[in-house]
Structure 1
Amino acid sequence: MKRKITLGIITTLICIFGSLFIQNYSGNWYQQPLAKIQKIEIKDNQQLIQAIVVNGAAKGKEIALVAPYQENEIESVHLKKGNQVFYQGNEVMEKKRDGFVFFMVSLLLLTLLFVGGKTGLTTFISALLNSSALFFTIWFYREHASLSLIPMTMVYMFFSVAITLFLIDGIQKNSLQKFVATIVTILTAFGICYFTMAILQDKGLRFEDMGVLTRPYRPIYLASLLIGAIGASLDTVVTVISTLEEIELRNNKVTLKQLIQSGKTVGNDISGTMINVLICSYFSSAIPVILLYLFNGWSFGQTINMLLSLEAVRVLCGGFGILLSIPISLFFFAIGRRRIQ
């Protein structure tokens, strides 16, 4: 254990120094012009910047840049001396943050390895694969706008659940049970929301926040519901079935009836906390905009109706996934155990 802690401290220090090196000395890796701020002055809602170019043919040259300035940083970032920024012409495009990104990703990987070992590594790999698949789905939809986004998202759903379960557990009986139970739960929860929205003709939903989209907003919103249901359903299914498998492994004399009752108890215990996690996750992102609306004269009711109607349906879809995953998980677990008997 002492060796493991020492190794953890050493690798953490390596990540810290590595992130500092990347943040401060990786400018030559980029084709986009990059400059380091030497002096900055705020004037007429502008950040007037004196900087030195750190890459390309103009390396070492002193240049003048400008960036918009807002006290609340809604659409701009406050820059400081020593920051590195990408620029085009004489305008700052964005702040360089690759070192901080490297540190957070590497720290996450180290934590997964330190706590979960091999399982932590496969978890990290599955997260990378799922993220890559999601970005590929978005890119493919952009390139083939004539195709429907919902079927694409369903393909991603099957891939995501399969990668998460089979990469971590391997292809075996219990992972197949979890896979089928998760897919059935997701499709059931999504189907409830889909047909309810169709029957009510989307009344009460405010799609104004999606007005900047150049594609039909409804399929995109439905796709987001489907993706949101994946995490909620998968987590609950794995928790319930894995718990019952562990009970059965520790006590092979336990009956199916006792296992089902234990599964119900576990499901009841985690469902409330999981739904609260959904509420916090979805609604927390809207807090800055809610405050912005309230401080600009909107009433509380108008603000909530405008900003949280879409998030409320996402919470409902995820909530259905959590609640339905309990009986569905128990059903497929019972079927699998009866076949063994």
Structure 2
Amino acid sequence: MVSFYLVMRVTHERGIDYEAVDYATQDPRALFLSQTILGVLGAVMDEATDIVSSLYALAKHKADLTFKELFISGRTLGQEIMGPLINVLVLIFMAEALPMTILYLRDNNTLVYTFKYTLSLGVIQSLSSAIGIVLTVIFATLCSALFLRNKKAEVVEK
């Protein structure tokens, strides 16, 4: 949500047209925000779960890992997961706009005009989602490494 807000603030919502949701009686910004959050939520939860469970298994298998080693392992794993997740979300958001894009192009609209009115929302959603996925790698890895390091310290003390 923070990444969505940052993207919207930086761009001052220029080039974003909410005509696709004109039929709705609710605020189009709120609908767009909720659509973006729901789109990225599954990917972020999947990514965080993969990182946390993998680091837990690694720490359980090799108990002498330092915080730095755990963090580097989590970051490496996150980088491997990040690319495919971003690609999937970009394709989902763009596929959603594809029927409307085809209609605009069939009506002899220019490519620039068509992009402005159909794909601009998908680009913003994709950018916000990509930022969220990248930040998830950092936070999930950091929290897991800290927790697992503290957990190892508790086990050693007992």
- TM bucket normalised to smaller: 0.7 to 0.9
**Larger relative contact order (CA 8 Å, sep ≥ 6):** 2
- Cα shift readout 1:86-141 (whole Å, capped 9, x = no counterpart): xxxxxxxxxxxxxxxxxxxxxxxxxxxxxxxxxxxxxxxxxxxxxxxxxxxxxxxx
- Over aligned residues, Cα RMSD in angstroms? 1.7
> What residue is the counterpart of 1:290 in the other structure?
101
Q: 1:195 to 1:280 in 2, by over 3 A?
A: closer
Identity %: 27
Does 1:206 find its partner at 2:22? no
| SS of equivalent to 1:319 | helix
Which amino acid in the other structure matches residue 303 of structure 1?
T
Output aligned runs, 1:54-73, within 5 Å: none
Q: Cα gap change, 1:328/1:213 in structure 2, threshold over 3 Å: closer, same or farther?
A: same
Aligned equivalent of 1:274, options 81, 85, 92: 85
Match of 1:321 among 132, 146, 149: 132
Preserved contact between residue 232 and residue 321 of structure 1 (Cα < 8 Å)? no
Give CA deviations for 1:5-55 in whole Å, capped at 9, x if unaligned: xxxxxxxxxxxxxxxxxxxxxxxxxxxxxxxxxxxxxxxxxxxxxxxxxxx
Q: Structure 1: which 5+ runs fail to align?
A: 1-189
Q: Which structure has the bigger radius of gyration?
A: 1
The reply to whether residue 262 of structure 1 matches residue 70 of structure 2 is: no
Query: For each residue in 1:178-217, what CA deviation from the matched residue of structure 2 results, as whole angstroms up to 9, or x when unmatched?
Result: xxxxxxxxxxxx1232244245442110101011111221
Given the two structures, how large is their TM-score scaled by the length of structure 2?
Answer: 0.86
Count of equivalent residues: 152
Does 2:113 correspond to 1:302? yes
Name the TM-score, length of structure 1 as normaliser: 0.42
Who is 2:156 aligned against?
none
Structure 2 unpaired stretches of 5+: 154-158
